[in-house]
Amino acid sequence: MATVADLLRDAVARLRDAGSESPRLDAEVLLANVLGIDRSGLVAHPEAPVGEGQFARFSEAIERRAAGEPVAYLRGVKEFLGLAFATDERALIPRPETERVVQIAEADVARRLVSEPRPAGAPPIRIADVGTGSGAVAVSLAVRLRVRRMLDEVDILAIDDDPGALDLARENAVGHAVADHLRFAEADLLPLSEAPFDLVLANLPYIATSAIADLPAPVLFEPRHALDGGEDGLDVIGRLVAILPEVLTQRGLAVLEIGADQEEGIGRLVAALPGRWSCTVERDLAGLPRTARIER
Ligand SMILES: C[S@@+](CC[C@H](N)C(=O)[O-])C[C@H]1O[C@@H](n2cnc3c(N)ncnc32)[C@H](O)[C@@H]1O
C-alpha cells in the first residue's frame, strides 16, 4: 500500500511538471484534505499507509489541480477573516484584499453606535453588500458584529444578480449561524426599493475585459461574471457610483474594492457626481490602491 511520502513525492512531481508555482504546498493541502487531517499530520507520519479510496480521491484532485483548478474549489473551502467559507464554481473565491472592506465596515458600525447616542427603538443601521458572491463580506461582518454584540443593531442585505452565488451565500450564512440576521436579494446592483443605506459595501467585478485572458489559469475557473468589469473594468462599479446619491443616507459611506490601476478612474467617477463628495483610496498590504471610501 502506498504511503503518505510516496503519494506526496509523485504528486509534487506531477504538479511541478504541470507548471504549478507551489507544488508541495498544493499536494500537502490536498492530501491532508482527503485524509481529513492537518498538514502537520503528514509531516509527522510520512510512513502512514493510504487506503485505496483515499488514494483514488487524491489522484483525481491532483489531476484537476494539474489542469489548473484552484485549490479552494478542490477543497471546497477558503479562509476569510479567520472563518471557513464554502467555495465552489458558483462564486468567486474570497480574497484577502477584500477583508479590508469588512474591517472598515465594522469600524464604521462601531463608531455610529458608540459616538452617536441611539434612542431606544432607533432604526437599525442599514447595510448593503452588493455582489455578495459567496457571502464573504456580509457573513463575516455579521459574525464580527455578533461577537461585539452589535448584530441586533444592523440590518444587512446581501445582493447578487446571480442566483447560484446567492445560494452559496445563504449556505455560508447558515454555516456561520447568521442566516437569521441577513436578508438576501437577487437584483442588478441593489433593489432601489430598499434604499437608503447607511453603508454600501461592494467588491464588484473590476477586471478589464481585455485582461481576462491573461489572468493566471486558476482564476479562469472562477465565474467570468464575477471578474469582467467591461472595457476599463469600471462598468459595474461606475453604475453603482452613479446611484450613490440616491441610495446612501446623508451621512452614509460606500466602501468599494477597486483594481490596483483604478484609483484615478474611481476618483473621476466620484468627481462627476452631483453635489460635494469625497473619495479616498486606501492601499493594500502590497502598497497598491485597493479600497475606496466614498461619502458626502
Ligand atoms: C468579484 S465577485 C465578489 C464576490 C464577493 N463579494 C467577494 O468579495 O468574494 C463579484 C460578484 O458581483 C456579482 N455581480 C456582478 N455584476 C453584478 C450586478 N450588476 N449586480 C449585482 N451583482 C453583480 C457577481 O455575480 C459576483 O458574485
Query: What are the tens digits of pLDDT across the range 16-41?
Result: 999 888 999 999 999 999 999 999 99
Q: Work out the average pLDDT over 81-97.
A: 97
Of 104, 129, 162, 171, the one to substitute when testing ligand 1's pocket (max ligand atoms within 8 A of C-beta) is: 162
SS3 category, 279? strand
Buried (b) or exposed (e) across 147-169, using 16+ Cβ within 10 A? eeebbebbbbbbbbbbeebbebb
Q: Which residues contact 214 (CB under 8 A, 6 or more apart)?
A: none
Tell me which DSSP letter residue 182 carries: E
Q: Is 135 in the pocket of ligand 1 (CB under 6 A)?
A: no
- pLDDT score of 262: 97
Q: What is the pLDDT of residues 50-77, one digit of tens each?
A: 999 999 999 999 999 999 999 999 999 9
Q: Please, which residues bridge with residue 283 across strands?
A: 289
Query: What pLDDT score does 116 carry?
Result: 74
In this structure, the dihedral spanned by the alpha carbons of residues 108, 109, 114 and 116, taken in order and rounded to 10 degrees, is 80
Average pLDDT of every residue of the chain:
95
In short, whether 203's Cβ falls inside 6 Å of ligand 1 is yes
CA distance 128 to 105: 11
Mutate to test the pocket of ligand 1, among 95, 132, 190 (most ligand atoms within 8 A of CB): 132
Hey, what domains does the chain have and what are their CATH numbers?
4-67 (1.10.8.10), 89-295 (3.40.50.150)
Q: What is the pTM of this model?
A: 0.94
